[in-house]
Each structure stands twice: as structure tokens, then as C-alpha cells.
Structure 1
Amino acid sequence: MKATYRRTIIAATTLSLAFVMITHATADAQPGLTSNTGAGCPTVAGIFVPGTWETSVDADPTRPRGLLAPVAAELENQFGDKFEDRFPAYAARAMDGMSYGDSEAQGVAAAKSALSEIANRCRATKFIIAGYSQGADAAGDLASEIGCDQTPIPPQRVLAVGLIADPKQGTQGGKLVGPQVNGTGIRGTRPTGFCQLSAVTAQLCEQRDRYCATDAASNPILAGLGKALSQPTSASTAASTDTTSQGLTESLDAGFSKLDLTHLTTDIATIVDQITSGRIDTTSVGSAASSAGSVLSGLADLGRWATGNPSVQRQLSNASPGSPEQLAGQILTAVQQSDIQSAIDATTSLTQNLGASGNGHNTVDPALAQSAETLASAIKPLTSTPTDALSQAAGVLSLLKPSTLVKQITTVGSGAFTFAANIPKILDAARQIGAAFTDPNPDLGAKVRAVHQIFGTINNLCQPLVQMAAGVDLSTVSTLIELIPDPNGIASIVSLIVGLLGNLDVIGLARQVGTLQENLWHIAETITGGGDLLAIGGAFAQLVPTLLGFATIAVDTLTGSAAKTSPEMLNTPTTVTGGGTDLAGIAELLTRSASSQGADSLSQLVSEGIDAAQFYNSGAHQSYDSYVVGPGGETALEWLTKWFANRIRQVGV
């Protein structure tokens, strides 16, 4: 461990010295900065692109925000009016009503606009460019465009580029500062590299941060899933996006943001108050109706999805009292108690009829009044929720679908391989039941114990999958897994297994196992306690049809055509059914892949607890104010601040 640590420090020291040499050489090649054209022009301007959820389209770009704010503040403190910073305002969202790819494209445009405005006004101003997380994605794309295409400014005007937690970490030309990491960013790398900005581009990545350190070779499904979830979906940004990735991204999008949901109650109040008073601002009411309709559509879809995923409901209802998760469960219950479709229809009617009413009339329009009344009454259970509770729950609900489904994809995928590998054992155990009855051994106790042992084996092989299947929409998960772009083909194999499992009557199988184990255990205890052997023999004889019935459902479920049983029936009396999909026939083929690198990496995903929120908001992803990268114990933010300051001083400030 000590040797490894020393090697890391030596490597970090060497890299830091290399950067000093590079920056000195670059500075010597640049002319001194003696003047700028235009009033109020800074000698150096910093473009700092915030990360996911650190800013919004309405944010003030002159106000530092997010992880990079301390860096900008320290540079302002050191250089005064000779330094100016901009924090471009953009959506900075991910799967909460806007796809990551669309938001990142907006970030690139905002950063380019901020840089171009200063560059065109102040012809001699030099620039530093920085970004964190999604902001690093955007800032890095801008730096690549400047370095390779020399637009929107010549690369000679850029003093330094610093990218923290870049999802395209590993791009050719970028220099990783600090300990080495495994793999590249979860979005892959920029195909063109950084070209003429390579010498002044630093990338900082925490070793545990999967956002910037994902090994695609050992984790092909995670890498493929990350690339798919980060693809743009809008017509303006999705020109090169394949429809498969676009479909996966859209299927995981909640359809509304935290801010949208928080404003729902206010929007409804605006609509009702203005329409019932007769004094209508059509712009205000129209905007409120459109916003409310959009959020309600997203909630309706989320409610339907949650109904098909009982595990989600249980997870939220079992959360700590007063927690955002528990409040989110209450909101979902309110959604299910509301007439969401009538409310959506009412917002549509309001939007269509607003134009005819005009602004400012003192009379109440009957059609508008009826729509407003329908809207308010249809979602009363939802709007009765206190505003602070709605606000706390909004963050959970806006990411509930992607975080849950990505977790299910990894968990179900791993379980599918395990279950497929167990199928031959389950079939062998089920077929042993009949042999146990025909055993010529007259010892009834031995016969009962043998059958009980068989059921214990079957229970151990089936129970984890049974519990998983009771709360997961396997068909949906199968479809999503199939959409993951995985060149190794592992995702397709997992999708096939899960799709077949979705057609199996695993719930019925579980009910049979539980009931029969109890009955057999009772008989075994009675024998041990010296009970009436004649009565015990009669009870066992009566149990024989049920035992054979179980053998039938077990074999038919795995090789025949068993009809499915509802998850709600898990704890109800059992009945024997037949019919199913021939999973056993392909089990051998599928389990050959279970030992492959892709299958192993899938198991790794589960153990690491990867979910959608961690792609964009993990603890490691936020640790750059404490993550040590420099030989002197400097954190990532401290190193970046010092490096930027040195670059600025080297041009005469």
C-alpha cells in the first residue's frame, strides 16, 4: 500500500511539473496583454459551466454558483477587475422532463454564447474555460471545437481548460491530474480530441466517480446504458442519435421537473382565481394551464407506471416518516385518488377557449368557469397536499422512474443469469418428488424428510427470483435492457432471459413451495413427537396429490405453458395450473454466457448499487472539494484554482 501511495504521489508530482513547464512554454509564445478594446473589458475572462441541477435557464450568469463558485471567487479576489467570470445559464437537467443530451447541447450553446459575447466586445481578452459534471461535458465540447476547428475564437486566446468529472474523460490530448482512474467517461470520449488546446487541458476525476471513470471493457452494459441515457432526443440535437438509444432515454424520462411539480398548486390557483373573478390575463392563465397540463400528464404516466411496479410503492411507503421518499409515496397515492385524465382534458379545454374570452372582462365565461371547476375538483387530493411537502417530494418523483428502472435493469439482469443457471437443478429436484413416493422404503418419517429436503432445495433456488418478480414489471425491464447499445451482445441475452421470466408463473410456484414446506414440516414434527402413525400416514396420503401437483406446475412452469399468477396472490391458497414458455430448452445456451466477462460485470453493477441518480449525483461525484490530487495535499478545486491563477499571471496580470 505504501509503495502504491508513493507511486501515486510521484506520478502526481511529475504531472504537476509537466503542467508548469507546458504553461510556461505556452505563455512565452503569447504576446503580452497591454490593452483591450471596449469599455470594461477584462484582461482574462473565465467561462465556468455549472453541473446538473446547479443552474437553470433563468439563472443570472454573472452570479457564481455550484461547485466551481469558490474557484471563480478566489480568482476575482486575486485579480480584481482584470478578471471577469461568467456562469452560463442553461437547463442543466437530466431525465426530469428534459433528456441529459438535450440539456448538455443547450449548455454548449450557452457557453459558446457567453464566450463569444466577451470575445467580440473585448478583442484582446484571453479566456479560461472550466466545467463540472454535465458542465464539464459542455465545456470540453466547446474546448474541442476551439482547439480543432478554431471557432468561435482562435485557440491562442485560451489560457487553460479545466474539466472536473468530465463524462468524456479520456479524450485524446487531455491531461488527467491526480491518481489514475479505470476507464473513461461514461459517455465515451470526444472523437476529435482537444487538438491545439491539448497542452493546456486538465481533467480531474475521482477514482470512484463512475461519471468520469467507467471501464467499458469490464462493464459493457453500464457503459452502454450511460451512453444511451445521455443521448439527445430533440429534433435539433438528435440528428446523429440512433432511434434505439432515443427510445430508451424517452422511456425513462419522468416528463416533469422538480420545479414544474412545485408550481402545480400555484398554477391551479392562478387559473381558478382569475376565471372566477372574470378578470383574465389570457397570457398568465394560458401559461398556467399549459404548465399544469404538462405536469399532470407526467404524473398520470408515473402513476400508471408505479401501479405496475409494486416494489416502488412499498419502498416509498416504508421510508422514514416525513422523509422526501415517504412524502413522494403520499403524492403518488393522491395521484391515484385523483381523476387526472379529467383534469388534463380541462387544461386542454381552457387553452382552446381562452382566446375567445379576451383580457380584462368583468364577466365570468361559463365554459371557462366549468373547465376551471372540473380541474380544481378532479385533482383536489393532489392540490390539498401542503406546498412544502410537494416541494420535498418533487425531487424524488422527478427521478423516480429512471432511478428505479435502472436499478431494476441491473438487479433483474443479474438475477436472470443466476436463475437460468439454476433451472436444471430446479427441474431435477421437481422430478425427484415422484421418485420419493415410489421409494420402497417403508419408513414414513424418512420419506417425509426426503421430500421436505427436496422442497428446501427448490425454495433456495427459486426464492430470490420469486420475491423480485412479485414487485417488478419484467416485461418492461426486458424491453429496456434490449434497448441498451452493447456491442458484446450481453444485453440482448439478458433481455431474452428476463422476457421469458416475465411469462413464467413464478408467483404460483412460490405459493406452492411455501404451503407444501409448512405441511411437510408439520408432519415431520408430528412423527418426531411420537404421534399416531396411522393418522400421520393418512395425512401424508392426502398431501400426495398436492405434492404431485407441485411437481407438475414446477416442470410446466419451466418447460411447458403455465398460466401466470398475480403478485397479489402470493399469500393466498394455492391452485395447480399448467402452461408456460420452454425456458429449460434454452437454459443451457444462456448459462454459457453467465460466466462471460459481461455477465460478471453485470453482477458487479448490482454490488456497486448503481442507479440513475448516481450517474449524475453520487457522493463521489460531489467530493472534489476534498479529493486530493496534488503532491502537496491539494484538493481538486485547490489545484484548479492555483493552476488557473498561474496561467493568468504568466500573461502579465
Structure 2
Amino acid sequence: MTIGTVGVTVALALAPAATAVADTSPTASGATFNLFIPGTWETSESADPSKPIGALKPIADRLRHDHGDSAVIYFLPYVARAFDNGESYGTSKATALENAGTVLRDYASQHPDARFTITGYSQGADAAGDLASAIGNELGPIAADAVLAVALLADPRAGTAGETVVGPREDGIGIADPRPAGMGSLMGRVSAICAPDDLYCSIDKSQNPLLGQLGTVLGKTPADAEAAVKKAATATTVLASVDIPGIIDGLTRLPREVAAGDLRSAHVVSGTLNNRLRPLVTLASMVDFTEVSTTLALIPDETGLTKAASLLAAALAHVDFQRTADLVGRIQELTWSGVGAVAARTGAKTLPTTTTTPSDVRQVARELAVLSSSIVTVHPRTGTEVTAVSPDLRSMATAVTEIVATRAITDPATVVTDAVSAGSFYASDSHVHYGTLVVDAEGRDAIDWFGKWLSDSIARAS
């Protein structure tokens, strides 16, 4: 998920009080509040905002050295994740925007004469730039006149109108695309630095079409795009190995066996069906089938496997596998008890105890029949990146397995990963080495330049 201009407006206008500003901040009219938003994995929601961390720490240290207590330093605590620990990049960035809006609004309320600077790195620059765009277009938590400077380091939305590019210039743009609304009235007060070979903030999408599309459609940085492709590759392997036609047959047959009173056959069918469903249940808990489908649709390959798997994943996105498996397991359990009761009348010695009645089993089977109709008769709803050729899930699954068999594909995952240059999903070392990127004629690196620029901006205002 990418937070665009409209999303910024909502996030900043409606944000609840989430992160309080320390009471130790100065009250002098010349004081500046300097908001720093760290990059992915550099902070957390429980971090101490008074302690500078990560790539931006030297810049904050420079401001403290030059301006002492008159420069309040605040490192924003937020999720700062990217598709790990159950958190998505988009959700993480949204928390950064929400927390930042609350902090700025609260501080401005307590200190009406305060001036502000905003600095962000990587995911933090993504959020800081969106925040600046909202402020510059009169949609932010504070007035644009109160903002002295905005520093964006390795911004995934680089190329936004109204920012001043410092250092090496390239034709590339940020992987998540520039902000449509631009920087508004903050033009001239927003500076951006990006290393030419840092794919987070400088990518030529004509030369990197897959990575560019992933960044745009899925709102991902290169590392996130790599993770998406790996998930799609794993899903393709599972989808190629699962007997989906067998699952459809079992889901069709099971309610009929129960309705006919043949508990012994129903028990056998439910046991087989349970085993066939298990890989899909596990996969569904690990991936988002819609995301897998979209990712696969962007990856061309000569075998046709990625397209077929994309259609199959799109159809499966609307199936509740966990609930289906739970009902099948329940029928397996109930029919075992029922079979035991029948066996008791034939002289079996070791039997399950049961109070199960045929109506109990039929009730579960009816619920399964209703739920499984989404599998037996599928009409997938797909996004613009996926074209549904057939609504028949059985045909889709058969197409996948036939391609694997015909092409003698032993590892379907490699078809997905080999279709793309693996190296294109890794940002170069330049993403973390801005302390060595020279950006001006005086030999200053990106970190030094931002430190001096922000310090000078504060000095001029005071």
C-alpha cells in the first residue's frame, strides 16, 4: 500500500493523539523543533524519541552542537517495518505519518512561535516527503510558514515537483513514484539527496520494468519486491503440487455421502480431503493470494507457468481454506464416531464413545457444501493486472500441472525467480553508505551537507 496525497490528508487530519512530545522542550520563541523520521528497522514504536539513532544521528548531533537546547531533537517512534513480523511497508509508513502529524500538531499548539525542520531517511523519507507535500498544499498538521527546511535522504518517492536535488543528478525516480501534488508552497525549502545507483530513490523504470512495476503497483522498495517474488515463487511450487481437481471432487462428493447415510465412505473421503487441503491451508496462512497473483502477472516467462499460476492464485484469493479444512476435519471426526457406533453392533472390541447422531453430521456437511461452493464454482474477481481467461478452477489447476509436466519443470519456484535478475531486487551498498557520497564541490558527503544546511536554516531564522 502506498500512501498518496489523499491518504496523507486523511492520516494527518484525523490522526489521534498517539505520541506525546516531552515536556522538557524549550519555550523560547526562537526554538526549533527538529523532527527526524528514521528508516526501516532503525526504530520501533517503543523507542526513546530523545535519543538520535540510525543514519540520521550525525545530522541531529550537528544541530545539537550548533544550537544547543534551542534545537529540540525528536526521533519519531513508529513501526518501521517492511513485510516482516506481520507488518507491511504501507502500514508501517502510515503509522509514521499518523504519529508525525500528532507530534507536530501538539508541539505547535504548545509553542505557537516554534519553527520546524523535518528530516527523513529511506522509509522515513517516504513519510517525511508525504508530510511535507501535505503541509505545502495546506493539508498538513502545521502551517507551511512554520517550516524552515525539509531534508529527504534516499526518498522512495524522489522526483517530486518542488524539491531541490543536491549532489549527483540522474534521470531515475523513486521506486514508489513521485508525489502527484508536489511540494506546494514548500518549494525551495525541500532538499533531496539520492545516490545514482540506489534503486530505492533512483530507478529508470524503462530499464527495470519489472522492479518498476512492482514498486508502483505494490508500493514496494527493492527489498520488499524481492520478498514478494519469493512468496510468489513459493506459492507457485505449492499450487503446482496440490491436487485441486481432487479437492473439488472431494468437496462435491462428501456432502452427498453424508446425505446418503454412508458414514464409512464419508469418513474415507474426508480423510483424503483433509490431507489434500493441508498444503493450501498452510500456504494461505503465509501469503496473500491477491498479491501473489499480481506479482506473478508482472513476471514474463516462456513456459506460461507464471500466467497460469497467476490466474489460479486470483481465484483462490476468494476461498476460505481454513474454515473449509475445519469443517472437513469435523466431518472426519464425526464420521469416525459414527462408524464406531455402527461397528459396535457388529462385535468390534475397541471403539470410540459417541453421542453423535446422523443429523449432526448432515448439519456440518450442509455448511461445508455452502462454503465450498466458492471452490467448486469459482468466479474470480481480478485486478487490472490479471485477466481471467476462465472461471473454472479445475481448468486453471490442470493448466498449471500440465505446464509443469510438459516442460519437465522440477522446481516451479525457479521459473519465477529465474525470470528476473535476482540482483535487481537488492539496493546497492549506496543505500547505507551516504556518509561517503560526495555531493558538493567542497567535498562534503550527504550527511555533512544536510547537517550544515539544516543548521544554517535554523541560524537564519533565529
TM bracket (short chain): 0.5 to 0.7
The correspondence for 1:504, drawn from 359, 378, 402, is 402
- 1:166 is the counterpart of 2:155: yes
Q: In 1, distance between residues paired with 2:382 and 2:456?
A: 44
Q: Which has the higher helix share?
A: 1
Aligned to 2:73: 85
Structure 1 residues 162, 567: CA separation in 2 closer, same or farther (over 3 Å shift)? Answer: closer
Aligned to 1:60: 48
Q: In 2, distance between residues paired with 1:605 and 1:639?
A: 40
User: Higher mean Cα deviation, 165-174 or 213-222?
Assistant: 213-222
CA displacement at 1:133 relative to structure 2: 0.8
Aligned to 1:195: 184
**2:191 is aligned with what amino acid?**
A
Aligned to 1:109: 98
Structure 1 residues 608, 51: CA separation in 2 closer, same or farther (over 3 Å shift)? Answer: same
Superposition map of 1:293-304 within 5 A = none
Superposition map of 1:308-347 within 5 A = 308=238
Q: C-alpha offsets along residues 150-197 of structure 1, whole Å, 9 cap, x if unaligned?
A: 632221111111101111111111111111223311111212111110
Number of aligned residue pairs: give it.
313
Structure 1 residues 129, 604: CA separation in 2 closer, same or farther (over 3 Å shift)? Answer: farther
CA displacement at 1:620 relative to structure 2: 2.8
CA displacement at 1:105 relative to structure 2: 1.1
Superposition map of 1:324-403 within 5 A = none
Q: In 1, distance between residues paired with 2:441 and 2:124?
A: 27
**1:169 is aligned with what amino acid?**
A
**Matched position secondary structure for 1:609:** helix
Superposition map of 1:582-597 within 5 A = none
Q: In 1, distance between residues paired with 2:436 and 2:419?
A: 26
- 1:71 is the counterpart of 2:59: yes
**Conserved? CA contact 2:155–2:194, under 8 Å:** yes
Instruction: Report percent identity of matched pairs.
Output: 34
Q: In 1, distance between residues paired with 2:89 and 2:381?
A: 17
Aligned to 1:645: 455
Aligned to 2:173: 184
Q: C-alpha offsets along residues 415-440 of structure 1, whole Å, 9 cap, x if unaligned?
A: x14x57xxxxxxxxxxxxxxxxxxxx
**Conserved? CA contact 1:95–1:253, under 8 Å:** no
Q: In 1, distance between residues paired with 2:114 and 2:40?
A: 29
The correspondence for 1:99, drawn from 66, 73, 88, is 88
Q: In 2, distance between residues paired with 1:605 and 1:205?
A: 28
Q: In 1, distance between residues paired with 2:419 and 2:117?
A: 37
Q: In 2, distance between residues paired with 1:77 and 1:207?
A: 31
Q: In 1, distance between residues paired with 2:204 and 2:382?
A: 16
Q: In 1, distance between residues paired with 2:312 and 2:107?
A: 50
Aligned to 1:215: 204
Q: In 2, distance between residues paired with 1:477 and 1:625?
A: 46
Q: In 2, distance between residues paired with 1:627 and 1:49?
A: 21
The correspondence for 1:46, drawn from 34, 53, 65, is 34
The correspondence for 1:226, drawn from 215, 225, 235, is 215
CA displacement at 1:604 relative to structure 2: 12
**Matched position secondary structure for 1:202:** strand
CA displacement at 1:139 relative to structure 2: 0.7
User: Higher mean Cα deviation, 198-207 or 629-638?
Assistant: 629-638
- 1:475 is the counterpart of 2:405: no
Structure 1 residues 86, 499: CA separation in 2 closer, same or farther (over 3 Å shift)? Answer: farther
Q: In 1, distance between residues paired with 2:153 and 2:419?
A: 24
Q: Which runs of 5+ in 1 are unaligned?
A: 1-36, 232-247, 255-300, 311-399, 421-468, 511-564, 569-601
Superposition map of 1:528-543 within 5 A = none
Q: In 2, distance between residues paired with 1:105 and 1:501?
A: 40
Aligned to 1:620: 430
**Conserved? CA contact 1:99–1:230, under 8 Å:** no
Q: In 1, distance between residues paired with 2:210 and 2:407?
A: 31
CA displacement at 1:475 relative to structure 2: 2.0
Aligned to 1:274: none
Aligned to 1:127: 116
Q: C-alpha offsets along residues 529-571 of structure 1, whole Å, 9 cap, x if unaligned?
A: xxxxxxxxxxxxxxxxxxxxxxxxxxxxxxxxxxxx8769xxx
CA displacement at 1:78 relative to structure 2: 1.3
Q: C-alpha offsets along residues 59-111 of structure 1, whole Å, 9 cap, x if unaligned?
A: 11111111111100111011111111111111111112122111111101111
Structure 1 residues 75, 634: CA separation in 2 closer, same or farther (over 3 Å shift)? Answer: same
**Conserved? CA contact 1:410–1:605, under 8 Å:** no
Q: In 2, distance between residues paired with 1:164 and 1:49?
A: 10
Structure 1 residues 605, 186: CA separation in 2 closer, same or farther (over 3 Å shift)? Answer: farther
Structure 1 residues 217, 43: CA separation in 2 closer, same or farther (over 3 Å shift)? Answer: same
Q: C-alpha offsets along residues 183-224 of structure 1, whole Å, 9 cap, x if unaligned?
A: 311111212111110111111111111111223344443222
Structure 1 residues 622, 483: CA separation in 2 closer, same or farther (over 3 Å shift)? Answer: farther
Superposition map of 1:31-42 within 5 A = 39=27
Aligned to 2:443: 633
**Conserved? CA contact 1:45–1:127, under 8 Å:** yes
Computed over aligned residues only, the root mean square deviation of the Cα atoms, in angstroms, reads 4.6
Q: C-alpha offsets along residues 579-627 of structure 1, whole Å, 9 cap, x if unaligned?
A: xxxxxxxxxxxxxxxxxxxxxxx9998336233xx3xx65332121112
Q: In 2, distance between residues paired with 1:42 and 1:183?
A: 39
Q: Which runs of 5+ in 2 are unaligned?
A: 1-24, 241-285, 315-379, 389-395
**2:459 is aligned with what amino acid?**
R
**Conserved? CA contact 1:222–1:605, under 8 Å:** no
Q: In 1, distance between residues paired with 2:58 and 2:94?
A: 25
**2:95 is aligned with what amino acid?**
Q
**Conserved? CA contact 1:155–1:197, under 8 Å:** yes
Aligned to 2:299: 413
Q: C-alpha offsets along residues 244-277 of structure 1, whole Å, 9 cap, x if unaligned?
A: xxxx99x9599xxxxxxxxxxxxxxxxxxxxxxx
**1:626 is aligned with what amino acid?**
T
- 1:610 is the counterpart of 2:424: yes
Structure 1 residues 508, 410: CA separation in 2 closer, same or farther (over 3 Å shift)? Answer: closer
**Matched position secondary structure for 1:610:** helix
* TM-score (norm: length of structure 1): 0.41
Q: In 2, distance between residues paired with 1:184 and 1:508?
A: 41
**Matched position secondary structure for 1:646:** helix
**Conserved? CA contact 2:299–2:420, under 8 Å:** no
Structure 1 residues 207, 191: CA separation in 2 closer, same or farther (over 3 Å shift)? Answer: same
**Conserved? CA contact 1:119–1:125, under 8 Å:** yes
Q: In 2, distance between residues paired with 1:171 and 1:485?
A: 27
**Matched position secondary structure for 2:187:** helix
Q: C-alpha offsets along residues 272-318 of structure 1, whole Å, 9 cap, x if unaligned?
A: xxxxxxxxxxxxxxxxxxxxxxxxxxxxx99x9698399xxxxxxxx
Q: In 2, distance between residues paired with 1:160 and 1:221?
A: 35
**1:636 is aligned with what amino acid?**
A
CA displacement at 1:628 relative to structure 2: 1.8
Aligned to 1:137: 126
